[in-house]
């Protein structure tokens, strides 16, 4: 079953004999199997014929005259040819849209451009030299399917090159239009956007699933030669593969670290606006005390920087919106608690017991506190402190991951200072919980080591099991949970 039809511009190009050979063959193949498009194309042929006739003899003479058969000269009346006139209007509107609004073209145009680019590649027979860049940093250079020559051995570059090898562009010439077309055709669902710039066409394709979230290919207007490929890979900054003017050195990738000649080609790094905006966003959340792990977080997808937040009320929402007004490159996505949206990756996951059994420390609480309100306050304070630790550990975990990715940015120093501040806040939260829960677990030996996210999740689950609700399937005893809390807070 066909899910799409040819566009009006494709009909217009075929009717006027303005398509390339490959594009014409593609359109004719579609027409051979699509009755609806054949019917619509017949109307375009009629309209195109009228337009050509108008150019020669004028509008009135060009329109077909009504049949006079069986009518006397006295009954002769003028009948306006509505159908051809409407068809002419449609075609004129298509032409107007094509020439006066050329920014966005229909989906079929992406296929046509790729067909032109593949035709050029088959004629030229050469493959360009190229460089692989991650957020402005040149990681490697190469040509066609020859081995890449690594210019930088950083974690960022290594991750990017490994991910590229697992995609459709991991073999052969990554700047090949055919490689792009093959990836595009393999997608079960996609969205295309074609933009006409002064010197090049840009094809942008967004995928609903897979390692590659989105990709774009730039083709020169004059000959359809590919000049740039941009990939948005899961977990990476924007990766660009650019046509290079010079050939890469003929040095195996395993020798680049010790080859003197490579010193002549130091890696070039230019700050990416997304990197700078991301660190500024993290800093601003810290200034607003929104970096608790339970209110806001900075998310990154390729070059886009987004701040997603779940705030307590409209006043806080307005406060964040005003604070980020000076960061135009940051997209805000702020929700209220009654409509929080997708929380995956926005707040930390809590390990909660299955079941509704009494807390393991119920007996201890009854013995310790004669007043039930005091027992509840003790439990709530410990639970609040544990929640604070989990939120701080969640933010610190995210920042340390981004610290590795942004190690070459000029903003790395600011990010390091922010990480240090978050570590101090987490350490203070651990000390506070140790004091809050000391009557139950006893004194814990302090440590400069802060909890990892996984450790904070286990600690939070243990506190929850002790003081709020335990699992019906759990085999843990009060002593087992107390020892686990002591071990985590003491960092033995």
CATH 2.50.20 domain locations along the chain? 110-264
pLDDT digits (tens, 9 = 90+) for 230-239: 888 765 567 8
How deeply is 155 buried, as exposed, middle or buried, from its count of CB atoms within 10 A (0-12, 13-18, 19+)?
Answer: exposed
Q: How many CB atoms lie within 10 A of CB 82?
A: 9
pLDDT digits (tens, 9 = 90+) for 365-404: 999 999 999 999 999 999 999 999 999 999 999 999 998 8
pLDDT digits (tens, 9 = 90+) for 89-144: 555 555 444 444 444 444 447 888 888 888 888 877 666 678 888 876 778 887 76
pLDDT digits (tens, 9 = 90+) for 443-483: 887 667 899 999 999 999 999 999 988 876 667 789 999 99
Task: Tell me which DSSP letter residue 185 carries.
Answer: H
Contact 351, 457 (CB under 8 A): yes
Is this prediction's pTM over 0.85? no
Can you give the pLDDT at residue 108? Answer: 44
- Give 85's contacts (C-beta < 8 A, 6+ positions apart): 63
State the CATH architecture for 271-281+294-343: 2-Layer Sandwich (3.30)
Can you give the pLDDT at residue 423? Answer: 94
Can you give the pLDDT at residue 184? Answer: 86
Which contiguous run of DSSP H or E holds residue 29? helix 21-33
Per-position DSSP letters for 325-377, written without gaps between them:
GG-TTEEEEEE-TTS----TTTS------SS-BPPTTHHHHHHH-SSHHHHHH
Can you give the pLDDT at residue 387? Answer: 95
Contact 183, 168 (CB under 8 A): yes
Alpha helices, DSSP H only, in 79-176? 82-100, 107-124, 155-165
Does domain 110-264 sit in CATH 2.50.20?
A: yes
pLDDT digits (tens, 9 = 90+) for 32-64: 777 777 877 777 676 656 555 544 444 444 445
Alpha helices, DSSP H only, in 212-313? 273-287
Considering only residues 76 and 411, tell me which one the structure prediction assigns the higher pLDDT.
Answer: 411
Cα–Cα distance measured from residue 308 to residue 285, given in angstroms and rounded to the nearest whole number:
11
Pairing of strands 296-301, 190-196: unpaired
Contact 358, 470 (CB under 8 A): yes
Considering only residues 90 and 227, tell me which one the structure prediction assigns the higher pLDDT.
Answer: 227
Contact 214, 147 (CB under 8 A): no
Q: Is the pLDDT confidence value at 176 over 70? A: yes
CATH 3.30.1340 domain locations along the chain? 271-281+294-343
Can you give the pLDDT at residue 214? Answer: 86
């Amino acid at each position: 079953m066909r899910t799409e039809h040819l566009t009006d511009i494709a009909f217009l190009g075929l009717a006027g004999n303005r398509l390339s050979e490959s594009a014409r063959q593609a359109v004719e193949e579609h027409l051979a199997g699509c009755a609806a498009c054949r019917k619509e194309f017949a109307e375009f042929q009629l309209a195109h014929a009228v337009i050509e006739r108008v150019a020669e003899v004028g509008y009135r003479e060009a329109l077909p005259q009504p049949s006079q058969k069986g009518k006397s000269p006295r009954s002769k009346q003028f009948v306006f040819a509505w159908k051809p006139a409407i068809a002419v209007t449609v075609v004129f509107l298509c032409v107007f849209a094509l020439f006066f609004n050329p920014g966005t073209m229909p989906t079929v145009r992406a296929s046509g451009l790729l067909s032109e680019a593949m035709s050029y590649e088959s004629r030229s027979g050469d493959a360009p030299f190229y460089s692989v860049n991650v957020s402005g940093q040149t990681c490697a250079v190469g040509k066609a399917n020859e081995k890449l020559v690594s210019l930088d051995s950083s974690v960022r570059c290594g991750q990017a090159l490994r991910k590229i090898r697992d995609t459709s562009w991991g073999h052969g010439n990554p700047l090949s239009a055919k490689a792009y077309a093959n990836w595009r055709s393999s997608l079960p669902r996609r969205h295309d956007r074609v933009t006409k710039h002064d010197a090049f066409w840009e094809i942008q394709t967004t995928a609903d699933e897979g390692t590659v979230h989105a990709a774009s290919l730039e083709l020169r207007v004059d000959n359809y030669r590919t000049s740039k490929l941009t990939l948005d890979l899961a977990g990476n900054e924007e990766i660009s593969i650019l046509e290079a003017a010079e050939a890469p050195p003929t040095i195996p990738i395993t020798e680049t670290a010790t080859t003197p000649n490579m010193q002549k080609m130091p890696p070039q790094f230019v700050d990416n606006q997304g990197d700078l905006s991301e660190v500024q966003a993290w800093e601003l959340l810290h200034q607003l005390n929104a970096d608790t792990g339970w209110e806001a977080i900075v998310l990154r997808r390729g070059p886009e920087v987004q701040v997603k937040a779940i705030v307590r009320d409209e006043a806080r929402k307005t406060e964040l919106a005003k604070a980020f007004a000076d960061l135009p490159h940051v997209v805000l996505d702020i929700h209220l608690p009654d409509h929080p949206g997708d929380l995956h990756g926005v707040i930390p996951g809590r390990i909660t017991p299955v079941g509704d059994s009494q807390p393991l420390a119920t007996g201890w609480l009854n013995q310790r506190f004669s007043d039930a309100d005091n027992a509840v306050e003790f439990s709530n304070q410990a639970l609040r402190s544990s929640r604070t630790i989990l939120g701080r550990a969640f933010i610190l975990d995210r920042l340390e991951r981004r610290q590795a990715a942004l190690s070459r940015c000029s903003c790395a120093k600011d990010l390091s200072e922010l990480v240090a501040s978050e570590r101090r806040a987490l350490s203070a939260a651990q000390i506070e919980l140790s004091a809050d829960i000391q009557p139950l677990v006893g004194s814990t030996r302090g440590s400069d080591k802060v909890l990892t996210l996984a450790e904070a999740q286990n600690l939070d689950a243990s506190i929850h099991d002790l003081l709020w609700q335990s699992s019906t399937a759990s085999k843990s005893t009060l002593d087992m949970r107390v020892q686990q809390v002591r071990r985590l807070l003491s960092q033995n």
